[in-house]
With several copies, the nearest count.
Chain A
């Protein structure tokens, strides 16, 4: 049966290959769906092959755990609403981190047991090879467990925040020092463990400290910053998996983990950059940050009736729709697409303009619009659409605020100063759909709403666009 281990190794190799090819295919919307299916086959192959590993005990327990875990996750994943995707990603990511930490824990416990079982006879203790970890393996295993545990508790906090279970920020004086102390303590215990001074008590202390640190460092971060944090923890989990893969001598884990670690790091940077902030600012910026003072803006907001707004767009040549976080809150994406289709039928040229940080996670709006069935070639990036606003008749802003705020360009004191925005103000008319005078994520006034060519259509996103649809249908009759 010498061919069995080779066959299993070949399966792992194929799995790693399929992961990479799958991620590669995700770089284009046309092939992305196929990409995740490929990666899925890789995963299936790797898991099935693992069952045949020689010398594996507890097969029944393993199968049971796999079945329970898969069914539960499959069931929730299939049922959850499209808008809850960010927190589900956080949850599943946390589970991965937890699994990595568990692997590290099992290895450490086994290591301690092997030390206890075998009293040092004379100089060199004769420990059986199987239980004995090399120093590098031990160190990487501890490091992986630390990172995994932090990612676990941190991701769970992120999940709870996005789910709305933990609305208040949790801030107290000296928080930064406490967190730093926690981290230092966890690292110190980790170093002790890694240098061979393992004991049951130390292991418990290590995991408690690591979990606590993940909790405490994520709690003060605002819910809206969560996507960046989730992406960071995604990279963390990847690294943790790679390290534990090294301990287990499993190359597929090393490769998949490292690829995700690198990819997640890059994604985190891209997100933070799109929000015009540094990663450090996202993670620690909340401590004692004074809220920007509300700037008074001259003029008044000029409301408009749904009927007038509908007529303006019905007889326009070009309309650009700018969705924002409010669209997600109102779940208005289906109505908006219905409205856009009616306009298109009338011969109006309709485009959707998406700001890179519209909504609460990158690509948030793309996902929502895709859910409603908006074809992606009607959707334009900020850089592509900005020059076009000058020849646009009506820009319809739905639940967006910060991403169309001209203060980002003019007011150096504003918290979003320097962030590139969508130049909706350049178009002939701007119609803004929002519920009232609520501010956006940055909590500041928006000069656009007071501009001469802007009209406000107050109301919940879904209801307001529903009115527009009805008005348009009346026009058609």
Chain B
């Protein structure tokens, strides 16, 4: 559906973007970051919804249904866990503390 070269361009640029952004994250945030990027690929939920939405035979529907279940778990679980972790990072400076609350 997408022209191959355009997809390749998007792929290359997205890879650079991901690499460059993550290369600057301090070690202290590596665990939340792993969890956060885990959340981001929860967008697979959208793909699973599309797949289920175009499924025809009962078997396809069943597989699609499982896919949506799993994708929803990825997205929701990833969000909750990441958010809980990051909520705990506080500075001792009171104003900065307020900002993160």
Contacts and interface: CB of A to CB of B under 8 A. Distances in A.
Q: Do chains A and B directly touch (beta carbons under 8 Å) in the complex? A: yes
Interface of A: 9-10, 12-13, 15-17, 19-20, 22-24, 26-30, 32-33, 35-37, 39-40, 43, 46-47, 50-51, 53, 55-59, 61-62, 65-74, 76-78, 80, 82, 85-86, 88-89, 91-93, 95-96, 98-103, 105-107, 109-110, 113, 136-137, 230-231, 234, 237-238, 240-242, 244-246, 248-267, 270-271, 274, 354, 356, 361-364, 366-367, 370-371, 373, 375-379, 381
A311 to B, nearest CB: 26
Contacts of B33: 23, 26, 263, 267, 363
A106 B60 contact: yes
Contacts, number: 414
Interface in B17-71: 17-19, 21-57, 59-61, 63-71
Given A9-B5, A50-B49, A93-B38, 5 more contacts: A20-B21, A23-B33, A66-B49, A68-B72, A230-B34
B49 A260 contact: no
Contacts of A92: 38-39, 42, 73-74, 77-78, 81
Contacts of B46: 12, 46-47, 50, 250, 252-253
Contact of B5 (A13, A53, A58): A13
A19 B43 contact: yes
Nearest to B68: A65
Contact of B18 (A27, A51, A100, A261): A261
Size category of the B interface is 35 or more
Given A33-B87, A252-B46, A106 B52 contact: yes
Interface of B: 1-2, 4-19, 21-57, 59-61, 63-93, 96-97, 99-100
28 contacts: A13-B8, A23-B40, A27-B22, A33-B86, A47-B45, A62-B52, A72-B73, A73-B75, A85-B85, A86-B31, A95-B70, A96-B78, A98-B67, A99-B44, A99-B70, A99-B71, A106-B51, A106-B55, A106-B60, A113-B57, A234-B38, A248-B1, A256-B41, A258-B11, A263-B18, A366-B89, A375-B93, A378-B92
Contacts of B25: 26-27
A231 B34 contact: yes
A36 B70 contact: no
Contact of A30 (B17, B75, B99): B99
B7 A254 contact: yes
